[in-house]
Chains A and B, each alone.
Chain A
Amino acid sequence: DVKVTQSSRYLVKRTGEKVFLECVQDMDHENMFWYRQDPGLGLRLIYFSYDVKMKEKGDIPEGYSVSREKKERFSLILESASTNQTSMYLCASSFGQGDNEQFFGPGTRLTVL
């Protein structure tokens, strides 16, 4: 079974802090994704990566950056956390082209105070 793990289920940070959200997948998938999930807004793509050291902006990249130094690991970075970044963050991975199944992690509930 494909497994996508995220470093924390719950995280509480203060405004202005630098926040790292880590995601690891164990199926050698080329593609990895970071989504943000908010009530009524569905899943919004922040960034995705189709290869090591490659990244593409999604629909809402402002205030976020990413890092993919190894194929299995994709990190989401909030350089200076703000209260409007309080949300559920979901990581996913997939093989090959965009018309393949995305496997999601359990999510990280981030609260910024």
Chain B
Amino acid sequence: GENVEQHPSTLSVQEGDSAVIKCTYSDSASNYFPWYKQELGKGPQLIIDIRSNVGEKKDQRIAVTLNKTAKHFSLHITETQPEDSAVYFCATYPGYSTLTFGKGTMLLVSP
């Protein structure tokens, strides 16, 4: 089955800095790569996703890049704000079964 590795497990940045979270996956059939954000006391919520026919996608301050050859994808957050502090999960979908999630990254943005 699919194996998803996510790094780093914890990331601390100053407000205004950029943050990058990286995930690698094993199943070359994976074709859908979502990112979820989990705020304290809440369930995860989809913030951005990318499909395998696209190399990059942006939505305001967040972007996701995908390298299918190397089997890795990354979440980029620019101009971080304290409200970006949360746990972020990457996931993949290999076209069968369901999503496989990474172990999560706790992002801490200090004012």
Contact = CB atoms under 8 A, between A and B. Distances in A.
Interface of A: 4, 31, 33, 40-43, 45, 48, 56, 58, 90, 92, 98-99, 101-102, 104-107
B99 A98 contact: yes
Interface of B: 6, 9, 31-32, 34, 36, 41-46, 49, 51, 89, 93, 95-99, 101-104
B104 A102 contact: no
9 contacts: A42-B6, A43-B101, A45-B98, A98-B96, A101-B49, A102-B36, A102-B46, A104-B43, A105-B43
A59 B80 CA distance: 34
Contacts of B36: 102, 104
B44 A98 contact: no
Given A33-B98, A48-B98, A99-B31, A43 B44 contact: yes
Given A40-B103, A41-B103, A99-B32, 20 more contacts: A40-B9, A42-B6, A42-B102, A42-B103, A42-B104, A43-B44, A43-B104, A90-B43, A98-B95, A98-B98, A99-B31, A99-B51, A99-B95, A102-B36, A102-B44, A102-B99, A104-B36, A105-B43, A106-B41, A107-B42
B101 A42 contact: yes
Contacts of B98: 31, 33, 45, 48, 58, 98
Given A40-B9, A45-B98, A92 B43 contact: yes
Contacts of B41: 106
B103 to A, nearest CB: 4
Pick the most buried of A4, A42, A56, A98: most chain B CB atoms within 10 A of its CB. A42
A31 B99 CA distance: 12
Nearest to B90: A42
